[in-house]
Amino acid sequence: MKPSRGNIARRIISAYLSLGLTVVFVAVISVLIIAYTRQKLITEVHQRYEVALLSAHIRSEALLLSNAIQRYILEEVENDEAERKAINEQIILLEELLKEAADRVNPENVEESLAIGAIRQLLVAFNVQSKKVLNTADAEGGYGLETRRQMEILLRHYQPALIEALEDFEILEHKSADQTLGQAEAVARGIAIILSAVSLLALAFVASMSFWLSRRFIIPLTTLTENVRMHPDVSMNTPIEINTNDEMGALARALNLMKTEIKETRYKLEQYAETLEAKVEERTLELKMLAITDPLTGIYNRGHFFSLAGQILLEAKRMNFPFSVAIIDIDHFKNVNDKFGHVAGDYALKQATATMQAQIRQMDVLGRYGGEEFVLALPAVSSEEALLIGQRIVTAVREIQMIHEGRSFGITLSCGIASYNYENENLESILMRADKALYAAKEQGRDRVVGQYSNNTQGDIMIEYSSAELMIVNAARLLRDGDVVFVGVGQPNLACNLAKRTHAPNLVMIYEAGVIGAEPERLPLSIGDPTLVSGSLSVVSMYDIFSNYLQRGNVDVGFMGGAQIDKFGNINATVIGKYDAPKVRLPGSGGSQEIAAWANRCYIMTPHQKRRFPERCDFRTSVGALDGGGERQQIGLRGRGMEAVVTDIGILEPDENGELMLTALHPGKTVDEAKTNTGWDLKVAAQVRTTEFVTEKELQILREELDPTGIYLKGGG
């Protein structure tokens, strides 16, 4: 290994030494070239500026010569000979200056040579003309005519031409100097580019050398070192990635092979251990599930349900949340076992369980109470919400069509609901009340839900109500706050007063006797009852009630009681059967014919009996949609006629043709029950809703405030 490391060190030192020498050599050569080129170009620029200055000197001397000649001619000079000598010396100086400029001009520069040649010719001509002027002046003895003419030639021709040539030459020299300076800058930029390129090449060389050294020597050594220093588990799963064909590559391959063999052996041991652990865990889980679940249905058994439900109740008390339970029993389950066998009975239990689970939330707890009884804990669910959940479960199970071994059968459920209502109540007492509610559901005919609650002072109270109370409550819920309602006495009057005391405080009630906005202190027994006048808004004549209010469209709802009603909402309020020998004599039409014709909406309450719902009334005392198809609107009547018929089974409403159809069912009621009690083939809406349960508050107002003696609540009109 030592010779190998020494060889590696020598390679590294040699490579970086070569790199350093190369960089130093390139840098020195580049500096020398830049210095030499810069000095040469600066010298050339200086020479050109000196030639330009020399040209300017010649120009100034030429002007001085012209001035000296003029002074010599025009002024009387004391020493003419000395002045003449000075002028001649000036002429000689111009020639010497021009010669010096010509010597400094680069003969290879054609443009400069031509310019100097032109200046030389102009200067010779200028000097000759200057001498001619002097000679003419000497001959004429002063500033004669010829002297003046020759002087003008000198000043207007030779002098301007010389001066212009000298100025052009100066411009040329400045331009040449600028060009030379630009060339110097270009050369400097070029050298800088070359130097940058050389530097980049050197940098690339350094990078490539570093990469080569790292890949060849440093990385393999680092990889081996890091792998050895790793935690044994990590090192075992991390192969040494050295793929070179030298000693380090061979060492890495040997180590990787050793790791693979060790890892395979360890994996086999771990797999065996995991298999054993999984089997133990599976058996443990099976034992736990057997301890808490019902083996037939797969839901919690009675013991575990009590444990979970007790914890949920404690949490509900701590958080002040509602809590409800339901006890559910399969109706006549013994008959299923006796008729179809115990296997079919087990199948029915499983199907009922699956259906119940589909109707509840994930947080709800369903358990098997024993036999065909189930128990359901509903955290954070009020008594009203629990009743809806129970009804949903009962309805869903009722609709199951079970098929076992080719035989079809169905089952129904009875459900009792109870809710936690006071602090010290425990789970057992809530379940006892739910069990009482279940018993009541069975007593009422099974296949239904009954709820029970506790007021903590009067003991257990069952939420039970008559069919009349059911109709009155659902009719009251149809009314809107602010509606103007034309109402008679009896159950419609109860419904209006209930709505006014619950959700429609601004309801305005109009009575046939002429009372508007009545707020009676007690329930009126007839339309002429004096209690209607007390507290009313106004009292008018019956004529005004019908003509000025009803017929002019000022009545929102016309509310009528029991009668015979056909499929298009037409009403018979006289007799059923022949007029002279009636089967049933009805209360009489009163104002119902006017109300049905002119109110914007009409509601009626009546028990759902086949004799009350014929396909066609024996007499039409009050019109609905007539024979449908818009016939009511064609004869000029207001509204759509009968917009809701509230019965003890559900609610009927007109379709687009005016024919009544079933749109809602009361809890526990069925479509078949409604169709059976209707005298025509009753249409059923695509989505039949379930009406809400009657609440304690609604029953309290009806029973204690409106009809405490039960005149109308017992079923009377």
CATH 3.40.1080.10 placement within the chain: 468-706
Query: Of the listed 112, 173, 372, 512, which one is catalytic?
Result: 512
Question: Which residue spans within 494-648 are E strands per DSSP?
Answer: 508-510, 515-516, 538-539, 557-560, 564-565, 571-572, 575-577, 582-585, 601-605, 642-646
Residue 706, classed as helix, strand or coil, is: helix
Q: How far is CA 463 from the centre of its chain?
A: 46
**pLDDT score of 458:** 32
pLDDT in tens, 282-326: 777 777 777 889 999 999 999 999 999 999 999 999 888 899 999
> Dihedrals φ, ψ of 688, to 5°?
-95, 120
**pLDDT score of 2:** 42
Q: Which CATH class is domain 2-220?
A: mainly alpha
Whether residue 143 has pLDDT greater than 90: no
Architecture of the domain made up of 468-706 = 3-Layer(aba) Sandwich (3.40)
CATH 3.30.70.270 placement within the chain: 302-463
In terms of pLDDT, which residue wins out, 198 or 456? 198
pLDDT in tens, 593-651: 888 889 999 999 999 999 899 999 988 888 999 999 889 989 988 887 899 999 999 99
Whether 512 is catalytic is yes
Architecture of the domain made up of 302-463 = 2-Layer Sandwich (3.30)
CATH 1.20.120.1730 placement within the chain: 2-220
Cα separation of 498 and 504, whole Å?
Answer: 9
The pTM assigned to this predicted structure is 0.44
473 Cβ contact partners less than 8 Å away, ≥ 6 residues apart? 465, 495, 498, 694, 698, 699, 702
The string of DSSP codes covering 389-437 is HHHHHHHHHHT--EEETTEEE---EEEEEEE--STT--HHHHHHHHHHH
pLDDT in tens, 75-119: 655 556 777 777 777 777 777 777 777 777 767 777 777 777 777
636 token code pair? 């000029």
Residue 120's nearest CA partner among 161, 85, 76 is 161
